[in-house]
Amino acid sequence: SAVSKCPEVPFSSEAYRISATSRGKELRLTLAPLGPGTPQDLVFRFGMSGSFRLCPAGQLPRHAHLRFLTRESPPRALCFVDARRFGSWRLGGAWQPGRGPCVLSEYQAFRENVLKNLDDKAFDKPICETLLNQKFFNGIGNYLRAEILYRLKIPPFEKARTVLEALKDQEQARRKKNSSLTLSKKLKLMRENPDLLELCHTVPMEVIAAEKNLFDPDHSDNYAAFKNWLQCYLVPGMSSLRDRNGRTIWFQGEPGPMAPKGQASRRKRTRLKADPEALTPKVATRISKRRPKAAAKAPKPAEDEEEEVAARPRRGCSHGRRKVTAAPTLSEPEAPVKAKRSLRTAARRGRGEAAGP
């Protein structure tokens, strides 16, 4: 695509095969010629909206940034589609450095990598933020962290080290208790009483096992199945807060001791909207910005931040905005104006002056 900022792919072949391998949040494509030629590897990151689609070459979707064409008639195209352009690809087959073992394909290595590095500063943060650290949780994203913490009833803003250090003791106790059990019974106990690291493996596996039944936005019935699978993320009645990275975490119950100060959950804000008398007018909100003490007493919900940024006046336009917002605060403007005119007229008549037009 002409608008893509990713590198050109220096590969050409009359016939080739595409194979794929995934690791965490990355996907490696290998383009292998069926005749003479050198294979080409590409490693993709999907961002928030990246995906692959196979479609007729004459009906390419918008934002199809890379296209592989078939030789059939009419041809089809395998497209990397990314509307928001957060995704990317790079040449070569090396995985991005700094990413830990995959939660799916390298579970034991993933588990050991977490438990042996609990003194790392990454575990000083709330567990909801640590779960997005790809150095230790390669493959866990925003909706997965919400589902995992919800199932275990762990407050999202509990300290990560506090949550994970408890797993060491549990693991040692489990090994002693289950030393005489068969492998099948051990697996059964694990499924019945999973810990956080085990759910980092099994919850994504549920999504993969369901395959297209969960993920297909082009077919509303299938996409509805994914929404029904979600137990916490975007589910009505759940609370939400923004973490320190600006990502929204969905949860139920108390947020935990490390929750950001000065935020109201989205669910609570919905309650306020239901009561019109409890709402604060926008005029009062803007005036409070000029009075820091008043603003400090009534912190603004996090969801209002985007609206406030969008409504914030640009440089050079602030005076006009202030006049527009200040006007509604005047009450019954006609009466004072008429009263002043009548007083001036009476004074002129008392001095024998002619009244103005």
Do 117 and 101 touch, CB atoms closer than 8 A? no
pLDDT at 319: 43
Full strand arrangement of the beta sheet holding 16-23: 16-23, 26-33, 40-45, 88-91
Question: Whole-angstrom Cα distance, residue 121 to residue 130?
Answer: 10
Do 65 and 80 touch, CB atoms closer than 8 A? yes
**What pTM did the predictor assign?**
0.68
Enclosing H/E stretch for 31: strand 26-33
Six token digits for residue 135: 């150095």
> Beta-carbon neighbour count of residue 212 at 10 Å?
9
* Equal fold, 16-91 vs 107-259: no
Bridge partners (DSSP) of residue 40 are 31
Our separate counts of H helices and E strands in the chain read: 13, 9
Task: Delimit the domains of the chain by residue range.
Answer: 16-91, 107-259
Which residues, including other chains, have CB under 8 Å from residue 172's CB and lie 6 or more apart? none
Q: Look up the CATH architecture of domain 16-91.
A: Alpha-Beta Barrel (3.20)
Q: Which of 98, 103, 88 is nearest to 47 (CA)?
A: 88
Q: What class, spelled out in words, does domain 107-259 have in CATH?
A: mainly alpha
pLDDT at 280: 35
Report helix, strand or coil for 139. coil
Six token digits for residue 249: 């975490």
pLDDT at 274: 41
Question: Whole-angstrom Cα distance, residue 349 to residue 343?
Answer: 10
pLDDT in tens, the chain (357 residues): 888 889 999 998 889 999 999 999 999 999 999 999 999 999 999 988 899 999 999 999 989 999 999 988 999 999 999 998 899 999 999 999 999 999 999 999 999 999 999 999 999 999 999 999 999 999 999 999 999 999 999 999 999 999 999 887 777 666 666 666 666 665 566 666 789 999 999 999 998 887 666 655 566 566 777 888 999 999 999 999 999 999 999 999 999 999 998 887 766 444 434 433 333 333 333 333 444 444 444 443 333 333 333 333 334 444 444 443 334 433 344 444 444 444 455 445 555 544 444
Query: Degrees (nearest 5) of the Cα angle 268, 272, 277?
Result: 165
Bridge partners (DSSP) of residue 276 are none
